[in-house]
Amino acid sequence: MNTQSQTGERREMESTRSSQVKGGIHSQKVALVTASSRGIGLAMARRLAQEGAHVVISSRKQENVDKAVKQLQSENLSVTGITCHAAKAEDRERLVNTALQKYGGIDILVCNAGVNPHVGQILDSNEEHWKKLFDVNVISTFLMVKLVVPHMKKRGSGSIVLISSIGAYFVYDTIGPYCVSKTALLALTKALTPDLLAMNIRVNCVVPGLFKTEFSGVLWKEEKVNSRVMALNRLRRMADPAECAGIVSFLCSSDASFISGENIVVAGGGLSRL
């Protein structure tokens, strides 16, 4: 089957799930998904809502939030949205309060926010690049988890998924600092696990490979870079964002009740580890 046919088939599958499933695996659960107005974040939010969850999406720009909410609500999904800059404490608190006020609690958190302020050789990066990378990609992720955990504890359980990158295992030479920040999320997942399991809260990390999104454009828009990256992908194609949504939904479900502290690669057979 050629790539075009595969893409069409995936889109057809998505359309058949376009409305919310009553009694789905996330029925009546409340999910927060950061950076979820487009790309992988939007696909994950859509899938959680399709499986019955009430989903709060977020993005730094109001126009992006409005567009995504309109799209998902047109699919008969229970979704609301709010602007949120993940590195700002007041925005994180507002996001959490939106979920509490509208839906009464939080069961699922997907931390997808990330930035990449430097493209080029690592020695050309500067202190500001590194501060921004760790503030958004790592520190704000931890603080978002810390903010949500008390509310999950009140519910008696919860599931958290962090979103890393295959760059955490295979460092691309043009985005070295970004890869370092994403490697930190692998360790953060392991570090959080003991404390969270004591409260019946599971945490896992999904490690996407090359997905065709605007954010990953630096790796696929330039032919020279694209061919080098694709050589590491055994399926020899870029993934559709929907292909990351299913594993996130699974990890947040009771089907994954014995899975925690894991870093799970979704990279088309790309190099990671044994």
Which residues form the catalytic set? 178
Q: Which two tokens stand for residue 144?
A: 């978002």
Residues contacting 150, CB < 8 A, separation 6+: none
**Which is it for the CA torsion 94, 189, 181, 113, positive or negative?**
negative
Longest dimension (CA), the chain: 53
Q: CA 233, CA 221: separation in Å to the nearest integer?
A: 16
C-alpha distances in Å from residue 1, one per residue of 10, 18, 211: 12, 25, 19
Burial annotation 20-44 (CB, 10 A radius, 16+ → b, else e): beeebbbeebbbbbbbbbbbbbbbb
List residues bridging with 263 in a β-sheet. Answer: 205
For residue 198, give the 3-state DSSP assignment: coil
Q: What's the alpha-carbon Rg for the chain, to the nearest Å?
A: 18
**Which is nearest to 204 in space by CA: 169, 144, 172, 158?**
158
Structure tokens given for 93 = 């608190």
Number of H helices, E strands in the chain: 10, 7
149 by Cβ neighbours in 10 Å (0-12 / 13-18 / 19+) ranks as: buried
